[in-house]
């Protein structure tokens, strides 16, 4: 077992599996968020369900947090290991001549997304935990839409969200298809997976950007 934990391939598979799990989660997340643009009432219902359902709160949420933590902890550990593996740096190194920028800068794009997650957790998760468990407020199934839209009122936060989703797009552009290669899938389906990756990496972040901009431009009037 310890040999497996130390194995470079096992660590890469952990990165691939946790990444694919987060890729699936993003679909769920963007679907719920799109409801905030289409129908605020539906958004409130779905958000309330996610906020108070026992399975979501005590099973899915810890799994999600574990997925994020594992992905970035293993990712950072691998990055340190990779830096050490070079030893003396090249005086001249043309990384761009043989590999795309996105594939060479996953630690940067991932780092920005991680920093964004800090803000995102502060905005929504900490707020939610405080509302429910510290202030012990009563259930209010109608509060979510206004709370969400209010977050996008400040220009700075909207810009941070947009920039972060651009970096997420770049991260997914390489990461999604790369995880299949790590899992050993390199066959007649690879071209299709690569095409799907590009569509996914554009559509999902663009949807998030659209939602952020929509709420920034359409604040709730009181």
Does 188 bind other proteins (CB under 8 A)? Our answer is: no
* Shortest CB 180 distance to other proteins, Å: 8
Residue with smaller CB distance to other proteins, 174 or 216: 174
Q: Rounded to the nearest whole angstrom, what is the least distance from the CB of residue 159 to other proteins in the complex? A: 30
Greatest pairwise CA separation for the chain in angstroms: 62
Place of tokens 């699936």: 24
90 lies in the binding site for other proteins (CB under 8 A): yes
* Min CB(99)–other proteins separation in Å: 4
CB-wise, 4 or 150, nearer to other proteins? 4
Q: Which of 48, 103, 117, 132 binds other proteins (CB under 8 A)?
A: 103
How far apart (Å, rounded) are the C-alpha atoms in residues 152 and 219?
A: 8
Closer Cβ to other proteins, 35 or 113, answer by number: 113
Nearest in space to 208 (alpha carbons), one of 37, 20, 19: 37
- Report which secondary-structure segment, H or E, holds 186: none
Closest to 154 (Cα-Cα) out of 142, 143, 164, 162: 162
Q: Which of 92, 134, 139, 155 binds other proteins (CB under 8 A)?
A: 92
Number of residues forming the site for other proteins (CB under 8 A): 41
In angstroms, give the least distance from the CB of 87 to other proteins.
Answer: 4
Contact between 192 and other proteins per CB under 8 A: no
Of these, 13, 26, 162, 193, which contacts other proteins (CB under 8 A)?
13
**Distances from the Cα of 14 to the Cα of 31, 74, 82, angstroms:** 26, 8, 16
Binding of other proteins at residue 120 (CB under 8 A)?
no
Q: Which is nearer to other proteins, 86 or 222 (CB)?
A: 86
Distance CA 92, CA 159 (A): 36
What lies within 8 Å, CB to CB, of 173 at 6+ separation is: 102, 197, 198, 201
Which residue is it, tokens 């991680």? 114
The residue within the footprint of other proteins, chosen from 53, 137, 186, 218 (CB under 8 A), is 186
Tell me which residue of 24, 36, 26 sits closest to 204, measured CA to CA.
26
Give the binding site for other proteins (CB under 8 A).
Answer: 3-4, 6-13, 78, 81-82, 84-95, 97-100, 103-104, 106, 174, 178, 181-187
């Amino acid at each position: 077992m310890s040999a497996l934990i130390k194995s470079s391939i096992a660590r890469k598979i952990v990165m691939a599996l946790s990444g694919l799990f987060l890729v699936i989660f993003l679909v769920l997340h963007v679907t719920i968020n799109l409801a905030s643009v289409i129908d605020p009432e539906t958004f409130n219902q779905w958000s309330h369900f996610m906020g108070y359902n026992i399975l979501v709160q005590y099973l899915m949420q810890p799994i999600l947090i574990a997925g994020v933590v594992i992905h970035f902890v293993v990712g950072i550990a691998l990055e340190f290991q990779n830096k050490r593996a070079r030893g003396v740096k090249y005086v001249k190194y043309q990384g761009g001549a043989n590999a795309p920028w996105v594939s060479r800068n996953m630690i940067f794009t991932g780092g920005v997304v991680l920093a964004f997650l800090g803000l995102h957790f502060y905005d929504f998760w900490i707020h939610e935990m405080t509302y429910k468990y510290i202030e012990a407020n009563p259930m209010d199934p109608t509060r979510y839409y206004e709370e969400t839209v209010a977050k996008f009122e400040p220009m700075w936060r909207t810009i941070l969200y947009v920039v972060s989703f651009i970096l997420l797009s770049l991260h997914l552009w390489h990461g999604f298809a790369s995880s299949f290669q790590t899992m050993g899938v390199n066959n007649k389906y690879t071209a299709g997976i690569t095409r799907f990756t590009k569509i996914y990496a554009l559509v999902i972040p663009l949807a998030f950007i659209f939602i952020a901009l929509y709420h920034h431009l359409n604040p709730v009037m009181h």
